[in-house]
Amino acid sequence: MDRMDDRGSSTAEFAVLLPAIALMLSLLLCLGVLGMRQIQVQQAAGAMARELARGDDTGAARARGIQLAGTSARYTVGNGGGYATVTVAKSVDLPVVGAVEVRGTARVANEK
């Protein structure tokens, strides 16, 4: 084999770059999951705050939040100063990063 022969060099380069590419794709997937969960908790907080602002009871609003964000989320409900305020927090376990908490808050003026 000649020293100037570069057969197999692209295979070696691919083998060196493959772990970096896999890590980048994994991080991209984790960011996508994190974004979806953030939207989920924000929508749950908004729906709960709207229900409370209309005058529904806390149990009905919490049921709506559980429907949208799940039972593993934590819900904080406040109704004072003419506003219904809801915060929904949820822990997301990402395979590469670990546990990350996403939080959504909504504040809606009471209709009554």
73-111 tens-digit pLDDT: 999 999 888 999 999 999 999 887 789 999 999 999 998
Q: What is the pTM of this model?
A: 0.80
Tell me if 17 is assigned to some domain. Answer: yes
Report the alpha-carbon distance of residue 71 to residue 88 in Å, rounded: 11
Tell me if 55 is assigned to some domain. Answer: yes
Locate tokens 């003026």: which residue? Answer: 109
CA distances from 104 to 5, 7, 21, 49, 88 (A): 59, 55, 32, 11, 5
Tell me if 59 is assigned to some domain. Answer: yes
Tell me if 2 is assigned to some domain. Answer: no
Q: Total domain count for the chain?
A: 1
Report the alpha-carbon distance of residue 42 to residue 63 in Å, rounded: 15
Tell me if 52 is assigned to some domain. Answer: yes
Domain extent for 101: 9-109
Q: What is the pLDDT of residues 20-50, one digit of tens each?
A: 999 899 889 989 999 999 999 999 999 999 9
